[in-house]
Every structure is written in structure tokens, then in C-alpha cells.
């Protein structure tokens, strides 16, 4: 595989995705349709002065539509500087007690492929009785509206 761009900032990511869209000859409306984004959303993302920013909910669909991947590569030319910083921070947390652990946000939230995969996994692992109960609750939600659906606990 040939790298299309070296990206070190969100601005460079924006420009690389914009160039890839132009290289494929894909209009902004076509990109909206393929990535399942709202109408004119890609135009707002890839405008010369963007009105929207690429975030955790739009990155996966846009990358899928443009057939690109994101790779994380260590920069070996900065290894000495990073090693020096790590040594200076070695015992930085020794005097700072933590209150409580914060729950980490799911970085895949909003990524359709991840959600579909996890839903398929949950259905595959469910027993026939659990699937029947889930289908019954879904039917009730469709017919009675969301106010009559009980939370599963």
C-alpha cells in the first residue's frame, strides 16, 4: 500500500481527505450519499473555510466512502526527546492522589460498522428465549410507542 499523505494535525487530515475526494472525482453530494451523511454535509466539511469539523461520528463514514485507512506510526526521529520527557515524568503522579476513575468515552460510538458488528455479536450470543423477548419488546415499542417500553435491567 502506498501512503497518500503524512498527517500530523487535524488540518492536514482535513486537507488529505479533501484531496482524496477530488482525486476520486467524487462530488460532495455523492460523498454524502455513500457515507450516509445529511445532505450538503460533506460540502460544509470540505469547504475552503469549513463550517463543520471532522469528528468521531463523521470520520469512520467518510474514511469508508473514500476507501482510506488511518495508521498510527511511531516517529523514530523523536525517540530521544520522548525518552527524556518520560524520565522527567517518571514519578509525577506519586504526590497527586486520584479521586475516582472517569469512564472513558467509546471512540467507536457513531461508527456504523462497529455498531453493526456489536449488534450481530449480541444477537449471535443470545439464547432463543432472549431473542424472542427482544423481538416482543421491539414489537411493543413499534405499536405502543416508546413510553410503554421498560428498561432492561
Q: What pLDDT score does 89 carry?
A: 59
Q: What pLDDT score does 3 carry?
A: 82
Q: Which residues of 29-66 are buried (b: 16+ CB within 10 A; e: fewer)?
A: eebbebbebeeebbbebbeeeeebebeeebbbbbbbbb
Can you give the pLDDT of all 153 residues of the chain as single tens digits? 788 888 888 888 889 999 999 999 999 999 999 999 999 999 999 888 888 888 888 999 999 999 999 888 877 777 777 777 776 656 555 565 666 677 776 666 667 777 788 888 888 899 999 999 989 988 888 887 656 556 665
Residue with cell 462497529: 114
Q: What pLDDT score does 47 carry?
A: 87
Q: How far is CA 111 from CA 20, 61, 114, in A?
A: 20, 7, 6
64 contacts: CB under 8 Å, gap ≥ 6:
35, 113
Q: Are 134 and 119 spatial neighbours (Cβ–Cβ below 8 Å)?
A: no
Domain ranges of the chain: 10-66, 112-148
- pTM for the model stands at 0.52
43 contacts: CB under 8 Å, gap ≥ 6:
28, 29, 32
18 contacts: CB under 8 Å, gap ≥ 6:
46
Amino acid at each position: 500500500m502506498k501512503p497518500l499523505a503524512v498527517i500530523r494535525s487535524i488540518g492536514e487530515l482535513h486537507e488529505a481527505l479533501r484531496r482524496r475526494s477530488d482525486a476520486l472525482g467524487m462530488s460532495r453530494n455523492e460523498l454524502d450519499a455513500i457515507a450516509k451523511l445529511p445532505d450538503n454535509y460533506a460540502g460544509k466539511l470540505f469547504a475552503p473555510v469549513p463550517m463543520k469539523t471532522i469528528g468521531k461520528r463523521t470520520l469512520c463514514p467518510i474514511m469508508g466512502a473514500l476507501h482510506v485507512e488511518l495508521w498510527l506510526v511511531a516517529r523514530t526521529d523523536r525517540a530521544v526527546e520522548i525518552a527524556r520527557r518520560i524520565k522527567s515524568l517518571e514519578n509525577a503522579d506519586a504526590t497527586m492522589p486520584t479521586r475516582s476513575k472517569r469512564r472513558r468515552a467509546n471512540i467507536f460510538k457513531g461508527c456504523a460498522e462497529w455498531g453493526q458488528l456489536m449488534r450481530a455479536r449480541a444477537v449471535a450470543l443470545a439464547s432463543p428465549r432472549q431473542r424472542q423477548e427482544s423481538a416482543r419488546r421491539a414489537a411493543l415499542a413499534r405499536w405502543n410507542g416508546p413510553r410503554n417500553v421498560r428498561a432492561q435491567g
